[in-house]
Amino acid sequence: MLKAAIIGASGYTGAELAGLIHGHPHLTLAGLYVSNGSQDAHKPFTSLHPRWRGIIDLPLLPLDDEAISRIHTEADLVLLATAHEVSHDLAPGFLAKGLPVFDLSGAFRVPGEGFYDQFYGFHHQYGDWLAKAAYGLAEWNQEAIKAAQLIAVPGCYPTASLSALKPLQQAGLVAEGARPIISAVSGVSGAGRKASMNNSFCEVSLKPYGVFNHRHQPEISYHLGKQVVFQPHLGNFIRGILATVYVQLKDGVSDQQIAAAYHQAYDGQKIVRLAGQWPQINDVAGTPFCDLHWGRDGNQLIVVSAIDNLLKGAASQAIQCINIHQGFSPVAGLIKE
CA atoms of 201 and 231, how far apart (whole Å): 23
pLDDT of residue 192: 72
Same domain, 103 and 204: no
Burial of 96 (0-12, 13-18, 19+ CB in 10 A): exposed
β-pairing, 241-248 with 272-274?
unpaired
In a domain, residue 337? The reply is no
The span from the CA of 304 to the CA of 160, in Å, is 9
Classify residue 335: in a domain, yes or no.
no
With respect to residue 334, please indicate whether it lies within any of the assigned structural domains. no
Q: In this predicted structure, what is the pLDDT of residue 199?
A: 74
In a domain, residue 290? The reply is yes
Whether 217 and 281 have beta carbons less than 8 Å apart is answered as: no
CATH code of the domain containing 207: 3.30.360.10
Residue 84 neighbours by CB under 8 Å, 6+ apart: 105, 106, 107, 120, 122
In a domain, 122, yes or no: yes
**pLDDT, position 337:** 75
Same domain, 100 and 137: yes
- CATH no. for residue 56? 3.40.50.720
196 and 121 within one domain: no
Q: Residue 205's pLDDT is what?
A: 85
Q: How many Cβ atoms are within 10 Å of 3's Cβ, its own excluded?
A: 15
Same domain for 43 and 31? Answer: yes
148 by DSSP, 3-state: which?
coil
- For the stretch 189-214, pLDDT in tens is 877 767 677 777 778 889 999 999 99
Same domain, 97 and 185: no
Average pLDDT, the chain: 95
Residue pLDDT, tens place only, 232-278: 999 998 899 999 999 999 999 999 999 999 999 999 999 999 999 99
CA atoms within 13 A on the CB side of 332: 17
- The domain of 248 spans 156-307
For the range 95-99, what are the long-range contacts, defined as Cβ-Cβ under 8 Å and sequence gap of 24 or more?
95/129, 95/149, 95/150, 97/72, 98/149, 99/71, 99/72, 99/75, 99/149
Please report which residue ranges of the chain form alpha helices under DSSP H: 12-22, 45-48, 65-74, 84-96, 115-119, 127-132, 142-147, 156-170, 216-224, 255-266, 315-326
DSSP classification of residue 199: G
The bridge status of strand 241-248 relative to strand 181-186 is: antiparallel
Q: Which residue among 156, 202, 290, 321 is the active-site one? A: 156
Integer Cα distance of 123 and 146 in angstroms: 28
Same domain, 35 and 95: yes
Are 81 and 9 within 8 A, CB to CB? yes
User: Do residue 135 and residue 214 come from a single domain?
Assistant: no
Q: Is 321 a catalytic residue?
A: no
Q: Any bridge partners for residue 245, and if so which?
A: 182, 303
For each of the chain's 337 residues, which pLDDT tens digit applies?
999 999 999 999 999 999 999 999 999 999 999 999 899 999 999 999 999 999 999 999 999 999 999 999 999 999 999 999 999 999 999 999 999 999 999 999 999 888 999 999 999 999 999 999 999 999 999 999 999 999 999 999 999 999 999 999 999 999 999 999 999 999 988 777 676 777 777 788 899 999 999 999 999 999 999 999 999 999 998 899 999 999 999 999 999 999 999 999 999 999 999 999 999 999 999 999 999 999 999 999 999 999 999 999 999 999 999 999 999 999 999 998 7
Q: Is residue 139 part of a domain?
A: yes
Which pLDDT value is given to residue 278? 98
The rounded distance, in Å, linking the Cα atoms of 261 and 265 is 6
Regarding whether 125 and 87 lie in a shared domain, the answer is: yes
CA atoms of 270 and 221, how far apart (whole Å): 26
pLDDT in tens, 108-119: 999 988 899 999
173 shares its domain with 232: yes
Do 145 and 191 lie in one domain? The reply is no
- Tell me if 227 is assigned to some domain: yes
- Residues 134 and 184 both lie in one domain: no
Q: Give the count of domains, the chain.
A: 2
Q: C-alpha distances in angstroms, 155 versus 61, 125, 143, 220?
A: 26, 21, 20, 9
The pLDDT, as a whole number, for residue 195 is 66
Q: How many CA atoms lie within 13 A of 274 on its CB side?
A: 15
pLDDT at position 201: 76
- 106 and 126 belong to one structural domain: yes
Res 139: pLDDT? 98
Judging by DSSP bridges, how do beta strands 77-80 and 2-7 pair with one another?
A: parallel
Residue 194's CB is within 10 A of a number of other CB atoms, namely 8
Assigned domain for 333 exists: no
